[in-house]
Amino acid sequence: MTNKRKKIFAVYFVYLIIVLAIIWQGYGICKNIISLRDFKQDLLNVTITGNVLKPGLYRVPSGTTHFEILKVAGVLPNSDILSFNLASQLSDSQTIEVGTKSEPVTLKKDNKAIRLEFFFGAISVISSDGKSRPIQRGLEINVNDRLLTEENSQAELSVSNFSRIDVDNFSELNFDKINSLENNKEETWIFQKSGTSWYKIVYGNKNEVFKVSTPSANITVAGTGADFIVSIKQDRVEISNFDGLVFIERLTQTEALNLISGQSVNVFMDNRPFQVNPIMPENMPAERFSQLSKEKSVFILKHIPYNFLFCGLPGLFVLGSIKYDENKIYITNIPHQLSVADYILGCSTLDQAFLYGGPVLVSTVLEQIMSMRIPKYLILEKEDLIRILQTLGGLEIDVDDKAASVLNIPKGKQKLSSKQLSVFLKPSLTGFEDFKNRQMKIMGAIVDALSSKNIVLTIILAQQLLANIQTNISPSDLMEEYNKFITVKNWDIKEISFPAYQSVRDGKNVLEPKLEECKKLFEQE
């Protein structure tokens, strides 16, 4: 072959390679176009009528659930959604009629107990029969119990959901009434026999009344609450009010006054007139109870778990507990059809509770079921997850067989585009339970990336991740927990099945919580 022919052949060969490459690229593009066309969803016309915030005609993608459209339309406290299966999908030209309940949805139970939250040193709780009760954190105080603190001892009590009492050493409190119904008022009455106690009382509703009785005067918290300290001395009772309003009345009812913020009063045992003075610096309680605050802070840092509620809408509810002192993370997936009828009047299931009251109502009910505090919550919808993954630069997600088939990609670890993620996170893709599992996979990928330090969290990144997300976790909170999280090696992550059993209520299939198992769920070994 001559050099000229060789040159011509080489040129044709290169052209052939280029043409084949173009054809291959074109095939790939067409394949993607077809795939993306398959992702495109038909829009449904759905009409919402009746008792919702925003009735009207909605155009929604196929696969949208009743939960999603009711969330957009806005469920009111007296909206009747009991008959809806919120996980079911909408159909075209469907009309959803929301009725009106005779009574709004309300909590049946409220946490109005008095509990021993924290203590150090030697304290005693004596029941009405004179027997000492075993002392432990979370101990519920009963009517006619007595609490005594000894030398170098202090204790903190919680009163209902909002109020606190700090008890100094050598003090005695008697609990005469706890939320006793008196003249349509829920009355709590404590007799402070000796010592010093700091009362931080906040009324949760207008029917609450909190009183403190002492050897020489009765004290009633007025208005919406008060922050005051009571010291029983040999010849008098000294009351200092730091905030709010308290009504002071001598036991003989011969003298009374309203003590305002910044004032202190001495009520003498020998019936001398009240002596009112400005609060002196030595009466400020912060220093007196500084050791209690310090001991509590150290204890919380070492032992109190970080409990949180994650809501992946629609229908995923995950309760987590991070125990730093044990290197353990407990996670349980709470069924959306969990019965809450014993805790909320006019509400059947957990997903309904979310529509009525959001994460606050859900966490309030779960606190009662689980007998634990759940102070933090985070809500993520599909768009939030996609944005977070984009902010983190894309993460590999474990794609299951069913999703891989629909997406026309290999199963296993894959970096998904925004369009693919949008399909991957559709409840209608291959079923509601698969959808919840996929949400968990994405959250797991994010946690793995942070724990392995493949992604280093900064305050700026924390702000970006939490932007426009419904949560009570601040960027500084996230940074604090992240810094604690990465100091622990070899986390033991325990995924625990939520203990519940099938039941039927009002003709509807629900899951009832097994309460005794729920209260001990995160104590498993």
**Tokens found for residue 222:** 């007025």
452 and 411 within one domain: yes
Predicted pLDDT at 326? 85
139 and 57 within one domain: no
Is 108 a residue whose pLDDT tops 80? no
Range from 237-246, 408-417, 445-454 that averages highest in pLDDT: 237-246
Predicted pLDDT at 6? 47
422 and 276 within one domain: no
Distance CA 238, CA 192 (A): 12
Residue owning tokens 């069913």: 402
Please list the helix, strand and coil fractions of the chain in percent, rounded to the nearest 5, in that order.
30, 40, 30
470 and 334 within one domain: yes
For 146, other C-beta atoms within 10 Å of its C-beta total 18
Residue that terminates a domain, selected from 265, 295, 325: 295
Query: DSSP letter string over 167-226?
Result: E-SS-EEEEEEEEEEETTEEEEEEEEEEEEEEEEEE-SSTTEEEEEE-SSEEEEEEEEEE
* Residue 456's CATH number: 3.40.630.190
**455 domain-assigned:** yes
Secondary structure letter of residue 72 according to DSSP: H
Is 298 a residue whose pLDDT tops 80? no
* Residue 94's CATH number: 3.10.20
Predicted pLDDT at 156? 93
**343 domain-assigned:** yes
For the four alpha carbons of 405, 406, 409 and 414, in that order, the dihedral sign comes to: negative
409 and 480 within one domain: yes
**108 domain-assigned:** no
**48 domain-assigned:** yes
Q: How confident is the model at residue 27 (pLDDT cuts 50, 70, 90)?
A: very low
278 and 133 within one domain: yes
254 and 125 within one domain: yes
Helix, strand, or coil (residue 326): helix
Q: What percent of the chain is predicted at pLDDT more than 70?
A: 89
**Tokens found for residue 507:** 């003709």
47 and 34 within one domain: no
User: Does pTM surpass 0.75?
Assistant: no
Is 283 a residue whose pLDDT tops 70? no
427 and 344 within one domain: yes
**109 domain-assigned:** no
Predicted pLDDT at 333? 92
Exposure on the CB side of residue 34, measured as CA atoms within 13 A: 8
Is 19 a residue whose pLDDT tops 80? no
The mean pLDDT of 401-429, rounded to a whole number, is 87
In contact, 475 and 466? CB cutoff 8 Å: yes
429 and 286 within one domain: no
Query: CB pairs under 8 A, 24+ apart, for 325-331?
Result: 326/492, 327/488, 327/489, 327/490, 327/491, 327/492, 328/491, 328/492, 328/493, 328/494, 329/491, 329/492, 329/493, 329/494, 330/494, 330/496, 330/521, 330/522, 330/524, 331/493, 331/494, 331/495, 331/496
Predicted pLDDT at 496? 92
Q: Tell me: the pLDDT tens digits for 127-139?
A: 999 999 999 887 8
Q: CA-CA distances (angstroms) from residue 367 to 308, 319, 370, 371?
A: 11, 11, 5, 5
**346 domain-assigned:** yes
Q: Of 184, 176, 222, nearest to 203 (Cα)?
A: 222
Predicted pLDDT at 300? 61
For 448, other C-beta atoms within 10 Å of its C-beta total 13
402 and 290 within one domain: no
Helix, strand, or coil (residue 31): helix
**Any idea of the CA torsion for 411, 416, 417, 421, to the nearest 10 degrees?**
90
347 and 266 within one domain: no
How many domains are contained in the chain? Answer: 4
* Residue 168's CATH number: 2.60.120.1440
For 195, other C-beta atoms within 10 Å of its C-beta total 17
The mean pLDDT of 73-88, rounded to a whole number, is 92
Predicted pLDDT at 91? 92
**229 domain-assigned:** yes
Least confident of 200-209, 341-350, 425-434, 497-506: 425-434
Distance of CA 489 to the CA centre of its chain: 26
Distance CA 294, CA 282 (A): 19
Range of the domain at 49: 43-103
* Residues 6+ positions from 463 with CB-CB distance below 8 Å: 475
Q: How confident is the model at residue 11 (pLDDT cuts 50, 70, 90)?
A: very low
**488 domain-assigned:** yes
Q: Which helix (H) or strand (E) holds 22?
A: helix 3-39
Helix, strand, or coil (residue 398): strand
Is 117 a residue whose pLDDT tops 60? yes
Distance CA 318, CA 336 (A): 10
For β-strands 376-380 and 275-278, DSSP reports them as unpaired
In contact, 71 and 382? CB cutoff 8 Å: no
Distance CA 160, CA 174 (A): 17
Average pLDDT, the chain: 86
The mean pLDDT of 31-46, rounded to a whole number, is 60
* Residues 6+ positions from 444 with CB-CB distance below 8 Å: none
